[in-house]
C-alpha cells in the first residue's frame, strides 16, 4: 500500500511540474469565455521573468491578429510571505487584450485571519495596476492559503485567480 501511495504522489508531482502553475486568470470580458472555431491566430509570444523566488513576477504577452475583446488578471507568482500581525503592499495587474478598453472591477475574498484593503478596486480603462494592502491578523493560522481575486467588466464572464499567501508564525 505504501509503494502505491508513493508512486501516486510521485506521478502527481510530475504532472504538476509538467503542467506548471499559473498565476494569471482565465479570460474575462465580452469574449473572455468564448471559444472560436475556424479562427487562425498568428503572432508572437514573449515571456519576461523578473526576480527569483517569492516576489518574482512572470508576464506573458501574446500579440495576435484576431478580434480578441477580453482581459486577464495577474497576481504575484508563488506565495507572498507575511508574518502574523504584519501587512504587505501588493500589486494586481489587469491586462487588456484586443479591443477591450473598459474599466475592470476587482474584488478580493480573503480567508479567515486575513484582510485586504480596499475590498474592491476599480481599475480605470487607462490604468493597469491596482495597489492593495494584505494584512494578517496576529492570531491567523500559519500556513499557505489563497485570496480569491475576481475581475469583472464588459458584461462577459468574470476572470478569477488565486493569490497565494504564506502566513508565517511570529517568532
The residue ranking higher by pLDDT, 122 or 34, is 122
Q: Give the pLDDT score at 113.
A: 97
Q: Is residue 33 part of a domain?
A: yes
Q: Give the pLDDT score at 132.
A: 97
Q: Rounded distance, CA 137 to CA 58, Å?
A: 29
- 106-164 pLDDT, tens digit per residue, is 999 999 999 999 999 999 999 999 999 999 999 999 999 999 999 999 888 999 999 99
Domains in the chain: how many in total? Answer: 1
What residues contact residue 11 under an 8 Å CB cut-off, 6+ apart? none
Q: Is residue 43 part of a domain?
A: yes
* Residue ranges making up the domain that contains 73: 25-168
What residues contact residue 52 under an 8 Å CB cut-off, 6+ apart? none
Give the start-end residues of each E strand in 4-152.
Answer: 43-50, 57-64, 69-74, 79-83, 87-98, 104-109, 114-117, 120-123, 129-136, 143-152
Place of cell 512572470: 58
Q: Give the pLDDT score at 163.
A: 97
Q: Is residue 72 part of a domain?
A: yes
Q: What is the mean pLDDT of residues 79-96?
A: 97
Place of cell 508572437: 44
Q: What is the mean pLDDT of residues 18-43?
A: 48
Q: Rounded distance, CA 47 to CA 68, Å?
A: 20
CATH number, domain with residue 108: 2.60.40.10
Amino acid at each position: 500500500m505504501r509503494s502505491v501511495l508513493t508512486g501516486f504522489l510521485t506521478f502527481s508531482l510530475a504532472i504538476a511540474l509538467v503542467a506548471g502553475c499559473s498565476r494569471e486568470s482565465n479570460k474575462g470580458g465580452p469574449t473572455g469565455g468564448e471559444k472560436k472555431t475556424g479562427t487562425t491566430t498568428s503572432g508572437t509570444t514573449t515571456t519576461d521573468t523578473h526576480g527569483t523566488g517569492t516576489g518574482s513576477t512572470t508576464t506573458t504577452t501574446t500579440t495576435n491578429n484576431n478580434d480578441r475583446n477580453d482581459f486577464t488578471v495577474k497576481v504575484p507568482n508563488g506565495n507572498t510571505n507575511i508574518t502574523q500581525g504584519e501587512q504587505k503592499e501588493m500589486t494586481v495587474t489587469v491586462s487588456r487584450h484586443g479591443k477591450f478598453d473598459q474599466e475592470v472591477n476587482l474584488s478580493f475574498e480573503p480567508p479567515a485571519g486575513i484582510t485586504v484593503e480596499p475590498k474592491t478596486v476599480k481599475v480605470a480603462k487607462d490604468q493597469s495596476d491596482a495597489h492593495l494592502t494584505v494584512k494578517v491578523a496576529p492570531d491567523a493560522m500559519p500556513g499557505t492559503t489563497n485570496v480569491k481575486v475576481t475581475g469583472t467588466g464588459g458584461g462577459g464572464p468574470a476572470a478569477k485567480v488565486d493569490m497565494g499567501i504564506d502566513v508565517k508564525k511570529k517568532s
